[in-house]
Amino acid sequence: MIILNQEEIKSFYLMEDAIRDVRETLIAKVQNKVQSPHRTVLEFPEESATSLYMPSADLENKVAAVKVVTIFPNNPAKELPTTQGIIVLTSTEDGSHLSVMNASYLTRLRTGAMTALATDALAKKDAKVLTVVGTGAMAFEQTLGVLAIRGISKIILFNRTKEKAMSFANQLKAVGVEVEFEIADEVNDAVSKADIICCATKSTTPVFDGEYLRPGTHVNGVGSYLPHMHEIDHTTIKTASKIVVDDLHGAKDEAGELMDAEKKGIWSFNDVYAELESLVSGKVNGRETEEEITFFKSVGASYYDLAVAKGVYKKAQTLGTGLNIEV
The pLDDT value recorded for residue 72 is 87
Which sequence positions are flagged as catalytic?
A: 67
The pLDDT value recorded for residue 38 is 85
Query: How high is the mean pLDDT of the chain?
Result: 96
The pLDDT value recorded for residue 71 is 86
0.85 cut: is pTM over it?
A: yes
In SS3 terms, the chain reads as: CEEECHHHHHHHCCHHHHHHHHHHHHHHHHCCCEECCCCEEEEEHHHCEEEEEEEEEECCCCEEEEEEEEECCCHHHHCCCCEEEEEEEEECCCCCEEEEEECHHHHHHHHHHHHHHHHHHHCCCCCCEEEEECCCHHHHHHHHHHHHHCCCCEEEEECCCHHHHHHHHHHHHHCCCCCEEEECCCHHHHHHCCCEEEECCCCCCCCCCHHHCCCCCEEEECCCCCCCCCCCCHHHHHHCCEEEECCHHHHHHHCHHHHHHHHCCCCCHHHCCEEHHHHHHCCCCCCCCCCCCEEEECCCCHHHHHHHHHHHHHHHHHHCCCEECCC
pLDDT band at 210 (very low <50, low <70, confident <90, very high): very high
Q: Residues 157-166: pLDDT tens digits? A: 999 999 999 9
Hey, what domains does the chain have and what are their CATH numbers?
Answer: 2-106+303-324 (3.30.1780.10), 116-301 (3.40.50.720)
Q: Residues 218-240: pLDDT tens digits? A: 999 998 778 888 999 999 999 99
The pLDDT value recorded for residue 226 is 80
The pLDDT value recorded for residue 117 is 99
